[in-house]
Structure 1
């Protein structure tokens, strides 16, 4: 019985050491960057509206809902993904570096 238990535990350990796949409710890095780019662009847009800050805070969630619809995700998937990536600061740093690069490219193409 003890040997079977050790064998079973060893099997689970080997499975957990396998490929590090994301669960279905976590966005992959590419999708996360796309969503972050849209979120930051929308935040910038809303901040340019000639309305009081309190009003813009009420307006932003409507835009955010549209972002999630555009990307076919729910707000809970985005929040879970954000929490997942925030656990590893190096990964989050890489995601934001890519997000900033994408924003720079969009800005540059808009200017030209």
Structure 2
């Protein structure tokens, strides 16, 4: 009986340690939050590249834009790097995550194009 009890205690300790280590390895951002963050980053990329190439934004301002995005998502640069590395380790899942990012960016682009057409139609 004692051996069974000791075995049960040992197994329960392994279980609890395993659960705790999974929580430690879990990312600070859930996939949905990561998708939203990556959409914001890629939207900023597009705007910043356009602004820098036209001379409207200087290179020193670029870091501030990214810092502001991370702050809006309540995450530091180090945390972002850690979360990015976490998700990128599982290529198939990371590909699905980025497919969702691409879909959302395409929707945003389509909405912007519709807004431009509406504005143009209202002027004419």
Smaller-chain TM-score range? 0.7 to 0.9
CA distance in 2, matches of 1:82, 1:7: 38
Q: Is the 8 Å Cα contact of residues 37 and 103 (structure 1) preserved in structure 2?
A: yes
CA RMSD of aligned residues (A): 2.5
Secondary structure at the counterpart of residue 75 of structure 2: coil
Tell me the residue number matched to 2:111.
Answer: 109
Sort the Cα spacing of 1:24 and 1:111 in 2 relative to 1 into closer, same or farther, 3 A: same
Instruction: Please report the TM-score for the alignment, with normalisation by the length of structure 2.
Output: 0.70
Aligned residues: 104
| Structure with the higher helix share, 1 or 2 | 2
Q: Which has the higher contact order (CA 8 A, sep 6+)?
A: 1
Secondary structure at the counterpart of residue 48 of structure 1: helix
Q: Is the 8 Å Cα contact of residues 27 and 86 (structure 2) preserved in structure 1?
A: no
CA distance in 2, matches of 1:74, 1:28: 15
Residue 69 (str. 1) matches residue 75 (str. 2): no
Deviation at 1:82, TM superposition (A): 0.4
Give the unaligned 5+ runs of structure 2: 115-124
Q: Encode CA deviations 1:35-58: one digit per residue, 9 max, x unaligned.
A: 00011111111111224xxx53x4
Deviation at 1:60, TM superposition (A): 2.2
Instruction: Please report the TM-score for the alignment, with normalisation by the length of structure 1.
Output: 0.77
Q: What is the aligned counterpart of 1:81 among 80, 83, 91?
A: 83
Tell me the residue number matched to 1:14.
Answer: 15
Give the unaligned 5+ runs of structure 1: none
Tell me the residue number matched to 1:32.
Answer: 34
